[in-house]
Amino acid sequence: MSRVCIAQIGAAHGVRGEVRLKPFTEDPFSVTRYGALESEDGNRRFEIESVRPAKDMLVARLKGVADRNAAEALKNIRLYVAREKLPKPEADEFYHADLVGLTVQKQNGETVGTVKAIHNFGAGDLLEIEPVSGATIMLPFSETTVPVVDIEARKVVIEPPTDS
């Protein structure tokens, strides 16, 4: 069964067991729509009882977490959902999990490396590319620099910016 990471638990919030929750979904509140979420290793399940907005995140109450110490013990746990529970992405949308591991090629077919991760530091998505050799490359994930994404062929085609 394929799973997708949809959130990460952050620091404890207050003294009654609430946690900060960083959603990785387009609609932050959609994390509540998929039922119990699993830890990365699959050994723990978390049910979200309630969420409310906070600056750049959500504040969540998780079932069975009643005090600050219990909340602090959950910091940095990534939460996963079964892939089949997620809606099918639109034609020009992609789940990050589908992009990681794809082969990266230039327009001429030359292999550059593989997609290592997708990041967003506030100015849009960036592809982190693990090259065949050399240092990691970061490129904006836009139609200009990544004109082709072919999930079935397991590749992306890039058009790196040229130096002026």
pLDDT at 86: 87
- In this predicted model, what pLDDT tens digit does every residue of 56-66 receive, in sequence order? 899 999 999 99
Q: What backbone torsions phi and psi does residue 68 show, to the nearest 5 degrees?
A: -60, -40
pLDDT single digits (tens) 70-126: 999 999 999 999 988 988 888 888 888 889 999 999 999 999 999 999 888 777 889
On the question of a common fold for 3-85 and 96-158, the answer reads no
Q: Which fold has domain 3-85?
A: Elongation Factor Tu (Ef-tu); domain 3 (2.40.30)
147 touches 160 (CB < 8 A): no
- Work out the pLDDT band at 1, boundaries 50, 70, 90: low
What's the CATH code, domain 96-158?
2.30.30.240
**Residue ranges per domain, the chain?**
3-85, 96-158
Neighbours of 72 (CB within 10 A): 13
State yes or no: pLDDT of 16 exceeds 80.
Answer: yes
Candidates 31, 23, 27, 19; CA nearest to 61 is 19
Q: Which residues partner with 127 through β-bridges? A: 118, 139
**What is the Cα gyration radius of the chain?**
18
Helices (H) and strands (E) in the chain, counts: 2, 13
Which class for 32: exposed (0-12), middle (13-18), buried (19 or more C-beta within 10 A)?
middle
Q: Which residues pair with 89 in a beta bridge?
A: none
pLDDT confidence bin for 163, thresholds 50/70/90? low
